[in-house]
Structure 1
Amino acid sequence: MSLRAVWIVSAKSDLPIYSRYFPSVEARSRSTLGNLFVKIPPEREFVKELLIEVGLREGGTFVESRDNCDKQVVYPAFHLKTEHGILWPVVIMECKGFILCALPHDDNNPKIIPPICQVSLSHMPSIALALEVLNGLAECILNSKNSSAEGNLPMTEVIQYVNVSLPFGRPISCDISVCGQLGSVVKGKAKVPTWNPMPHKGKSQVVLHIKEEVRSTQFNHLEMKDSVDVFGTVMCRAEVEGNAPEISLGLIQSAGGNGSGLVVNPGVCNVENLSQTSFRLRFYPSNSQPLCHYSLPLITDPPIFGAFSIKVLFKIADFTYSGTKIDPQSIVVSTAAKVRCSVSSEFVSKVYKLWNSEGEVPVPASIFAEDLKVLLKQS
């Protein structure tokens, strides 16, 4: 079980005070739910619908399913209606004037979406898990020295708690004492990458690497075209100061790429098309994970042309490959009693060509229709 997203909302703001999305969980949820998947709406729409659902903002019009006095509310889980469908379950907790929200994804029973008014939380362990995460988040806010006044959110502690307790959206520890020991905020030169909660000592660096591979089969024949496939991977390894650094980069391709074969990793937050051959990727770095894969479908010529030609000449004395030989004792010359006879043999190449070390014939075979029918009948 994992969380698709976490929010901290205030009734006084139209946007979340804090939000953290987990694209890898979102991609897994889209894959497992199929047609039942409901994507998360934009932040402004999410906050509006959430405040209306909990009764902190008027909806403008009366909706019986939402505003009826007989409506059964299963606290702390809510159904949140969006233009794409119903988000379920949105787990909510109040803490010091803030609304803490979490949207879980159940890997074991992902397609269980019960009716709005009839649900048993005992059958939804993902709700209990989300509630445990929010409890730890509330404890983090209450214990912070920076949140003495109501409405003041200790952003540093919140970011640290989410980074340590929810790596890639999967809760590992909701105890703030454990999270504090793993990712304690240290002044000075300590570096804390998002993929490693332990403090890191050293220079901040971002290492980007493009690995491009080519597959080619060259036939050197007029009737057979050479085949070429070029594909590559963009890798990033970052050790940057800060708990949640965001990195953006521009990716430029040649005219042969044209962007048609670009596939980004779910961990990439946003892809912006700057032009037909250039893109901007925005992401949170992880430990040497690929950012994107691409292929170049318009490439037709291999980068290196080669010819394998060894069309071989050899001569072996006193040898025949078939084993044929002449018996010298059997030679008889009728006109002379004694004749010196010499017997020799040699094995010589005539037309001996070596090509295609894979053993595949690159020349199409011509076959008549009648012969083809006979072969099909025999098979």
Structure 2
Amino acid sequence: MSFRAIWVWSHEKGEALKLRFSRRYPTVERRAKLLSGPQYVAVPEDCAVSQLVFSKLGLEDPDRLYVASRDDCVLHQESLVLELNPDGPGRGKLWPLLTMTHGSLILACLCQMEASASSSQPPISNQASVCQAIAFLSDLQAFLLPGSKASDQDTLASRLDQLPSVFSHICPLGTPNDTPRSAAVVPPQAVPAASSGSQKQPAWKSGLHKGKSTVSVSVTETVRSMQYGSHDKQDLWDVYGNVMCKCEVEGVQPSITVTLSLPPNGSPLQDILAHPCVSALDTSTLTSSSMDPGDGSTFSGPYKFPFSPPLEPFRLCSYTSQVPVPPILGTYQLKEDNGQVQLNVLLKLHESVTNSFEYCEAHLPFFNRCQMGSLDVKVTSGQLEVSKEKNLLVWVLGQKFPRSREVTLEGTINFSGQTAGPTDPLCTDATAYVKLYFRIPDQTLSGCSVDQHSVQLYSSTKPKVVTSRDLVSSEYYIWNSTGHTPMLPSSLTM
């Protein structure tokens, strides 16, 4: 796996992309020209690349919610992967350009596909170089933003200044040394002169931990849902999880094993992707895929992940799970009569979910209307807030549902303000939705967890093991059942 070019941008809301670092590799570019033949497309100047990426990520002109060249439903969207057309559509492409965004930072790399020119674009899932490039960007992000502190500008500026020297060591000629498992580079004076024992110091690990051993493992599952409240459309939902680790242990290449377990009635994990530092995986762990309709795999763990960790926090693995029901079921009815809107919302917490939230809110936006005037809305639990712009109704449900596990909102709203609110070409007339935001601590929908006693560290010192798990929402919509249902994808995909 080699890179033709690498970029790091920063982007603040309402501002243009600011290029913070770029590196090109002429030797890789020459190889790309030989392999691509007549289909070769040169990498344009950094300013042109910035503009193309800015547009592709939807950061340019945020008021334009729909751009045909980017958002047309006939286009096949792939997470993290972009296709750039410097000379216009149909006139050559730069692919695959991998991007990773965290806070105001955007990282990108243009991979060189080690294959001869072909008229067809190979599937991303079959490209090992793409997986390695994602791991590289993930570790580069961990180096630039240690501990995910996106707001620490001093640390970020310091790490950006180090990038030229860092890349001369970890990626001198466009090909990463030992496929980086962590881009964490410490100053030369902090690097030990020689490795202890007979083990060789890995190129991707230029420092050693000294002190008390601690292993932290957190499991976070994200649930997405589209609920229509209609017999004509099927409700959709999916769950995907991330297992994050931070291992502060002594030794050049310490060996750790983390085991994920499921309860007897838990949904099996599927589509498991492991970090490159994982040394071995059971074949039954890798063969279960939600993309294969004929997959009859029922392997439900335990899932063992032996690895030698990098210094910085990293994602040990990700997975999906086909759970039978979403955590919160809801219906939404909205009717309009002469500028007055009648609302009726019912939310029900499923019995399998713990009735304890870190936070839980339901947002009811009103598009293509004037500002809200008088309100006569009642709720059975929680409290209501109106945004400063008077175009968003926020239902703060707090940390618990009532004992019945059901809450309702009903009433009327008059839109008598003179100032126009937000516009949306999708949500017109009675087409509207409720969007849920929640976080449930110490709960996963699949039941996946990490037992402290299952974490094994093969060392003379006994580590302190800290584990946690959370369930959070993302793109959790309940659509108005009495209005026009928008044409949305037939299934949710990662």
TM-score category of the 2 structures, normalised to the smaller one:
0.3 to 0.5
* TM-score where L is the length of structure 2: 0.33
Larger Rg belongs to:
1
More strand by share: 2
* TM-score where L is the length of structure 1: 0.42
More helix by share: 1
Q: Which has the higher contact order (CA 8 A, sep 6+)?
A: 2
